[in-house]
Amino acid sequence: MEAKKGKIIIISAPSGTGKSSIISKIIDIPDLALGFSVSATSRAPRGEERDGCEYYFLTPEEFSRRVEAGEFVEWEEVYKGTCYGTLLSEVERVTGEGRNLIMDIDVKGALNVKKRFGDEAISIFIMPPGIEELERRLRGRQTDSEEAIARRLGKAEYEMTFAPKFDVRVVNDDLPRAASEVEDIIRNFVNKQ
C-alpha cells in the first residue's frame, strides 16, 4: 500500500539517547517517504555540522527577529540562552514535496506540535536504558564539553517525566532493534486512513 503523505512524526528524548542515530537508520526507507525537519537554532555548529543540514544556524538576533515575525510553528529555549524552533517554511517545504515530516524536537515542543496537529501527528518518546548508559553515550559521542554533558544529564530526569504524555514509548537498548520498532510504528501510522 502506498503511504498517505503529509503526516507528522515527532521524535523526542533526553539528549544522548539516540534520536539522531535512529532517525538516520530509517530516514531513507522508501515506503515511509520521510523528510527531515531541519530546525533553526541560535547555537553555534558542533563538529561537522553544516548550515541547512542538521540545523539552520541563526544568530540570537536573527532567531528573535523571526520569532517576532511569527515564522515559527513552535520554538523553545531548550537550554538557557539557546533556542531551537521549527520554521513554518520547513513544514511546508517537506510536506509540499509529498513527504511525511519527521522532527527531532524537545519534550515541550513535541507536545505543542502534537496538540496543534492532533491525529495528523504521532509523538514518539525514545527512552535510554538508564541514566548511567545515557552518560556513557554523551561522553562517547565526544561532541560536548563536560559542562554541556552535566547540563544535558541534569535535564534528562525532568524530560523523562514527560514520557507518559507521548503516544508511544520506545527503549533504545539495542540500536537496530529500537530503529526497527520505530520503523514499524511509523509505517502503521502513515498507512492509517
Nearest residue to ligand 5GP, scored by beta-carbon proximity: 109
- C-alpha to C-alpha distance for 87 and 32, rounded to whole angstroms: 22
Q: Which of residues 133-192 bind ligand ADP (CB under 6 A)?
A: 137, 140-141, 172, 174-175
The order of strands in the sheet holding 34-36 is 34-36, 100-104, 8-12, 121-127, 168-171
- C-alpha to C-alpha distance for 115 and 110, rounded to whole angstroms: 9
Where do the H-state alpha helices sit in 10-78? 19-26, 60-68
Q: Which helix (H) or strand (E) covers residue 112, if one does?
A: helix 107-117
Let me know: does 87 contact 73? Beta carbons within 8 Å: yes
**90 touches ligand 5GP (CB under 6 A):** no
- C-alpha to C-alpha distance for 52 and 93, rounded to whole angstroms: 13
Selection from ligand ADP, ligand 5GP, none that 17 binds (CB < 5 to 8 A by kind) is ligand ADP
Which span sits near ligand 5GP by CB under 6 A: 74-82, 123-131, 162-170, 174-182? 74-82
**105 touches ligand 5GP (CB under 6 A):** yes
In this chain, which of 56, 84, 125, 189 binds ligand 5GP, going by CB under 6 A? 84
Which span sits near ligand ADP by CB under 6 A: 19-27, 59-67, 105-113, 159-167? 19-27
In this chain, which of 106, 122, 127, 156 binds ligand 5GP, going by CB under 6 A? 106
Q: Which residues bind ligand 5GP (CB under 6 A)?
A: 15, 39, 43, 74, 76, 78, 84-86, 104-106, 109
